[in-house]
Copies of this chain bind each other. A is one copy, B any other.
Amino acid sequence: MEEDILYHFNLGTKTHDLAQMFGDVKFVCVGGSPNRMRSFAQFIHEQLELPGNAADIRDICEGTDRYSMYKVGPVLSVSHGMGVPSISIMLHELIKLLYHARCRDVIIFRIGTSGGVGLPAGTVVITDKAVDSFFRPQFEQVVLGKVIIRSTELDEDVAQELLQYSSELPDIPSVIGNTMCTHDFYEGQGRLDGALCSFSTEEKLEYLRKASEAGVRNIEMESTVFAAMCRVCNLKAAVVCVTLLNRFEGDQISTPHNVLLEYQQRPQCLVAHFIKKHLGLIS
């Protein structure tokens, strides 16, 4: 192609010098909420003790409201919205961006929130395998009317390293386990409180028990396509999500706002610790 327009980032190979802008990126952190990814960029700015004011960090995608993107030294922080289709658009354009910028040996993290399966709220789940609603470690993608199946294995070494670092930090209870990725937050995750619900509490609990037996420790909405696309494109990838509630105990997220905010910082702290270790800032 003569020109590649990364439409949903409002960036392009003719309008932007992507190698100059992004060539030194070594870590990419993605998460659903634009505000959270801005906070994460500011947090990383402080953690890496970079010069300048963290509050001045500019949204590289400010020409569009589809995604937000912040660059802090070797770390890129990008929002992806909610659900597999939303993150898949972002990943296509991110992977093309890293290619155009000639980045090498990038590690990518999804830091997010999730519903816990048998874990107390506030637990950080480092994903072993991302599984679908049938507990299979695969992602189905329809291409030209045919179903293609891709593996959703993540990088084992990065996951183990994250688990080890979690024990070095205070107040980040962490486990490694499978993460179930659904395409709906209500019916699709067995919630009884959606606008539609066609099952009983007992049927819901039975499904959650089966998920638990299959090694599922949390439920979110992006991990399968994230794992599948990163794997096909040879990007080392990890999924680190905090649980906001224990789904065996309820469906509604009624935890106070300040407690939720503290929970959401846990994956950020863990991944920041990983990045500082890899940059040799801490031993």
A residues near B, CB below 8 A?
1, 3-5, 7-8, 32-35, 65-66, 81-86, 88-89, 91-93, 95-96, 99, 133-135, 141-145, 148, 182-188, 190, 193-196, 198-199, 203-204, 206-207, 210, 221, 229, 232-233, 252-254
A191: nearest chain-B partner, CB-CB:
B92
Contact B144 A203 (CB under 8 A): yes
Q: Given contacts A82-B85, A89-B82, is CB(A144)–CB(B232) below 8 Å?
A: no
| CB of A136 to closest CB in B, whole Å | 11
Q: Given contacts A85-B83, A86-B81, A183-B84, is CB(A188)–CB(B252) below 8 Å?
A: no
Q: How far is the CA of A145 from the CA of B194 in the complex (A)?
A: 17
Residue from B65, B84, B190, B196 within 8 A of A144 (CB atoms): B190
Please give 6 more A-B residue pairs, beta carbons under 8 A apart, in addition to A82-B89, A92-B195, A145-B207. A1-B252, A85-B182, A88-B183, A141-B184, A141-B188, A142-B183
Q: Given contacts A142-B133, A188-B141, A199-B144, is CB(A82)–CB(B66) below 8 Å?
A: yes
Contact B199 A143 (CB under 8 A): yes
Of the listed residues A182, A194, A210, the one surrounded by the most CB atoms of chain B closer than 10 A to its CB is A194
Contact B89 A86 (CB under 8 A): no
Contact B86 A188 (CB under 8 A): no
Residue from B7, B221, B229 within 8 A of A195 (CB atoms): B229
Nearest 8 interchain pairs by C-beta: A83-B85, A95-B195, A133-B142, A144-B207, A92-B194, A82-B86, A35-B65, A92-B195
A-B contact list, 5 entries, CB within 8 Å: A83-B88, A141-B188, A142-B184, A144-B206, A144-B207
